[in-house]
Amino acid sequence: MSIRSAVLDQVKLVAEQQRKTLAPLTDDLPLVGSGLDSLCIALVVANLEDELGVDPFGVMGSVDMPVTLGEFIHFYESAPAAKA
Amino acid sequence: MTPVTFNDTLGWLHAPRGGVGRVAVLICPGMMQDALLSHCSLRVLGERLAEAGYWALRFDYPGTADSLAEGDIEPPEGHWQSWLKSIEGAADWLRETTGASELVFAGLRIGATLATLAASRRHDVAGVIQFAPVVRGNSYVRQLLVQAQLQTGQPLPADADLVFYEFRLSPRTLDEMRAVDLRIAGLPGKKIALYPRADSRLIDECTQAWTAAGANVTRGTWNKLEPMLRHNIIEEDTLADFSDVVAWLSRAMPYDATHKAVTPAATPLSLEPAACVETPMRFGRRGRLFGVLCRPAQGQPDTAVIITNSGRDPHYGSCRQSVTFARQLARQGIASLRMDFAGLGDSLGPIGKEDLLTPMFEADRVPDIRGALDALERLGYRRFALQGLCAGAYHSLQGGLNDPRVSTLLLVNIPLFSLPGEVMEFLTHRTNSFVHYFNRLTSLDGLKRLFTGKVNVLRILRGQVDQVRMHASETVQGIATKVGGADRRTPARRAMADLSARGVRTLFLFSAGQGEIDAFAREFGPAGEGLAGYPGAVMHVIENMDHDMSQAPGRAVGQALMVNFMAPSGRS
C-alpha cells in the first residue's frame, strides 16, 4: 500500500469513527477545513505512526503542521522511517 | 451502585446480587476526552457486571475527575507511576472490601494500557479486558502533542512540560509513556479479551506475542462498544452494549453462587482537598441524581453554587473545570454541588431509559435543579447560585427563571435563550447561510451525499427556517415594542426583566470571536450595552477563553471572574 493510500485510509477511518463529514479529499483541501477537528488530526497522526512506522515529527512534535491534505501526504512520503 | 472513597480518590462500587461474587472487575477509565465520552458507558458496564454476579469498581486516577490530587502538579514519582500505583491500590482495596479471590482489570484506551501493565505485575489478576487499547505509548504521546499544538496554535518547545486538559506532564512522564509497548507486556496464563477499535498491524502483533507467551487471547468486535467513544453531543443517544463482554467473562470466569456473601463495611465518605471537604451525594426522586458537595473545611456557609453539566460532560467537567471551580469557591467560603443531570454522568436517566444519554438541550432540567436545591436546603443552605457552560448555561437560566430560591446566575457561553424546534440544526448551521448550503449541495460530492442520504436536507432546512423565524420574530417584536404594543418582548428580554425584578444577579461570560455570543448580541449588543436596563446583570468577553474552557489561561480568567462575582466583595 502506498503512503498516500495509507494516509487517505486513516483520514477516512478516523472521520468515520468520530462521525465527522469529510469534504472531498483533494490535495489542496485545508486540513482544518476538511471536517476533521484537532482530535481527529491528532488521531490520524498517531494511527499513521503505528501503521507506517513513520515519524515525520520531531521529538516534541514541534514542527509546523502541514496546512493542506497534499502537504500532509507529502510530509509522510518524505519522512524517514521510525522504529516501530 | 454505591459511591466510595479510598486512597484519596472517589469511586463507585457495583455489588453483585446478594453480595456473592468470587471475581471482581476493576474498571480503569480512559483519560481526557476518552474519559468524558465514555463515563456513562462505563457506569453501564459496572451495572451489567454486577447483574451477572461480579463485583465492579470504577475509580478516578490521581489528578483526574473527583480525585483529591491536582493534575497540574506532578507527584514525586511522576504521573505515570502514580497512575499505575493507583490501580494497584484500587485492586488491593477491591479485594479487601469484597473478599473476591480473583481480579479482572478492564480498561479503555490509555486506561487499557495501564490496566495491562498493572495486571502483568500481579498474580491475582486472572483476566484483562481491553477496550481500544493504546499499544504504543509513543503514538499516544504524539497524539497529545499534535492536539495540543493544534489547539493552542503554538509550537511546543522541546523538553518543556506539556500542559494539556487537566494535566501538566513533565518530560519524564512523557518519556515513561513513550517507552510503553504492550507487545512486550508479560501476560502468561492470563485470559485476555481484546476489543480493538479497528484492525491494525499492531493489534495483530499483540495477539501473536501474548498468545506465544502463554496468554489466552480472545478478539471481539467494536460495533456494540462504539458509543463509548462516540462524540454525538446533542441528541438522545444509546450507550455501549456490553453483552458480548459479559458473555466472555461468564465463560472465562463463571459466576460462583457458593462463594461467601460479603457486605462491604461502611467507610467515611469524604475527601479533603486543601481547605475543603468533598462528599458524594445522591438526591432527587429515589436518589437517582448524583453530585459532589464541596464545602469549606471551616465554618458553615449559607451560600451554595450548583454547578451543572457542560454539554454532556460528567459533573467533574472537561479538564476537571468543575472540580477546580468548586475548590476555589470553597476556599472563598462558598459551598457548591457539582451535579449530573438525569441521564448524564452518574445520575440515572428516566426509569427504563438508564442506558440512554439524555438530549443536551431538549430535556427539561428544571426538575433536576429543583431536586438539587431541595437537597441543599435540607442541609441548611439558604442562598443559591446556578452555574453552567453552553447547554449548562441554558438550563441554569431556565432553573433560575423557574425557582425563586435562585439569586445568582453564572452563565458561560450561553448559546440560546429559548429553544427553536430543531436545536441541533440551529446550533450546527446557524452561522451558515442558505447560499453556503446551496453551494455545498450543488458540488458533485454534495449532491452524491444528498442522493445517498448522507445529508438530511429536510433537517438542515428546518434549522434554517427556525433561524429565519427567530430573526423575523425578533424584528416584529422590536417594532411592536417601539410603537407601544403589549408585552412583545423576546424570551431573552422577558427573562432578564423577570430576573432583575426578583433581584437575581446574572453574570454572562463569553469567549471572544465565538459564535455563541450571537444570540446574546442580538438581544443585548455585542458588548452587553443592552443589559443597562436590567440591574444586577453584567457581561464580559474573555479574549483567550475557548468555548468549553479547555485551555488553562482562559479558564483561569473565567473562573476568577465567577468566584469574584460570588464573593461578598464582588457584589454590586
What angle (nearest 5°) sits at the alpha carbon of residue B468, between those of residues B464 and B474?
A: 145
pLDDT tens-place string over residues A1-45: 799 999 999 999 999 888 888 999 999 998 877 888 888 988 999
- In this structure, what CATH number is given to the domain that contains residue B341? 3.40.50.1820
Contact B150 A61 (CB under 8 A): no
Q: Is residue B286 part of a domain?
A: yes
ipTM over 0.95: no
Closest approach of chain B CAs to the CA of A71, in angstroms?
16
Q: Is residue B18 part of a domain?
A: yes
Q: Which residues in A lie closer than 8 A to residue B229 (C-beta atoms)?
A: 17
Contact B135 A58 (CB under 8 A): no
**DSSP assignment of B84-110:** HHHHHHHHHHHHHHH--SEEEEEEETH
Contact A49 B229 (CB under 8 A): no
Instruction: Label residues B134-145 b or e (16+ Cβ within 10 Å = b).
Output: bbbbbbbbbbbb
Answer with the one of B489, B516, B540 that is the final residue of a domain: B489
Task: Flag whether residue A65 sits within 8 Å of chain B, measured between CB atoms.
Answer: yes
Q: Is residue B152 part of a domain?
A: no
Shortest CA distance to B228 belongs to which of B245, B250, B249, B252?
B245
Cell of B185: 507486556
B181: which DSSP letter? Answer: B
- For all residues of chain B together, what is the average pLDDT? 87
Mean pLDDT of B420-443: 47
Element housing B201 (H / E): helix B201-212
- What is the percentage of chain B residues whose pLDDT exceeds 70? 87
Q: Is residue B453 part of a domain?
A: yes
Mean pLDDT of B463-491: 58
Answer with the one of B463, B489, B515 that is the final residue of a domain: B489
Q: Which residues in B lie closer than 8 A to residue A45 (C-beta atoms)?
A: 142-143, 146
- What is the percentage of chain B residues whose pLDDT exceeds 90? 69
Q: Are B58 and B44 part of one and the same domain?
A: yes
Residue B144 has pLDDT above 80, yes or no: yes
Distance CA B433, CA B471 (A): 13
Mean pLDDT of B325-346: 97
Distance CA B165, CA B72 (A): 9
Q: Are B482 and B504 part of one and the same domain?
A: no
Distance CA B195, CA B241 (A): 13
pLDDT at B446: 36
Q: How many CB pairs under 8 A join A and B?
A: 82
CA A44 to chain centre: 5
Strand ranges for chain A from DSSP E: none
pLDDT tens-place string over residues B109-133: 999 999 999 999 999 999 999 999 9
Residue A77 has pLDDT above 80, yes or no: yes
Closest approach of chain A CAs to the CA of B560, in angstroms?
27
Beta bridge partners of B335: B304
Q: Are B71 and B131 part of one and the same domain?
A: yes
Q: Are B97 and B240 part of one and the same domain?
A: yes
Who wins on pLDDT, B215 or A67? B215
Q: Which residues in A lie closer than 8 A to residue B143 (C-beta atoms)?
A: 42-43, 45-46
Shortest CA distance to B151 belongs to which of B558, B553, B562, B561?
B553
Q: Are B363 and B407 part of one and the same domain?
A: yes
In this complex, the residue of B202, B449, B454 whose CB is nearest that of residue A50 is B202
Cα-only R_g, chain B = 25
- What is the percentage of chain A residues whose pLDDT exceeds 70? 86
Who wins on pLDDT, B467 or B553? B553
Q: Are B83 and B197 part of one and the same domain?
A: yes
Q: Are B6 and B26 part of one and the same domain?
A: yes
A43: which DSSP letter? Answer: H
Who wins on pLDDT, B440 or B227? B227
Q: Is residue B122 part of a domain?
A: yes
pLDDT tens-place string over residues B165-192: 999 999 999 999 999 999 999 899 999 9
Q: Is residue B526 part of a domain?
A: yes
Number of domains in chain B: 3
Distance CA B522, CA B532 (A): 15
Answer with the one of B236, B252, B268 that is the final residue of a domain: B252
The full set of domains in chain A, from first to last, is 3-77 (1.10.1200)
Q: Which residues in B lie closer than 8 A to residue A59 (C-beta atoms)?
A: 158
Contact A65 B143 (CB under 8 A): no
Grade residue B422 by pLDDT with cuts at 50, 70 and 90: low
Q: Is residue B337 part of a domain?
A: yes
pLDDT at B483: 57
Q: Is the separation of the CB atoms in B380 and B364 below 8 Å?
A: no
pLDDT at B468: 52
Cα-only R_g, chain A = 12
Lowest mean pLDDT, pick from A9-18, A25-34, B248-257, B466-475: B466-475
Q: Which residues in A lie closer than 8 A to residue B199 (C-beta atoms)?
A: none
Distance CA B35, CA B490 (A): 39
In this complex, the residue of B33, B140, B229 whose CB is nearest that of residue A46 is B140
Query: Which of B33, B113, B149, B173 is the mutation pick for testing A, counting most A CBs within 10 A?
Result: B149
pLDDT at B410: 98
Q: Are B28 and B75 part of one and the same domain?
A: yes
pLDDT at B19: 83
Q: Are B116 and B195 part of one and the same domain?
A: yes
- pTM of the full predicted structure? 0.87
Strands ordered across the beta sheet of B537-542: B276-283, B289-296, B335-340, B303-307, B383-389, B406-412, B505-511, B537-542
Mean pLDDT of B284-293: 95
Grade residue B283 by pLDDT with cuts at 50, 70 and 90: very high
List residues in chain B touching A: CB distance below 8 A: 33, 135-136, 138-140, 142-147, 149-151, 155-160, 197-198, 200-202, 226, 229-232, 443-445, 449, 454
Give the A window 31-50 contacts with B, CB below 8 Å.
Answer: 38-39, 41-43, 45-47, 49-50
Q: Are B48 and B131 part of one and the same domain?
A: yes
Domain containing B231: what range? 2-135+181-252
Residue B513 has pLDDT above 50, yes or no: yes
Q: Is the separation of the CB atoms in B42 and B29 below 8 Å?
A: yes
Q: Are B112 and B216 part of one and the same domain?
A: yes
Q: Are B233 and B123 part of one and the same domain?
A: yes
pLDDT at B461: 45
In this complex, the residue of B140, B200, B231 whose CB is nearest that of residue A18 is B231
Q: Is residue B155 part of a domain?
A: no
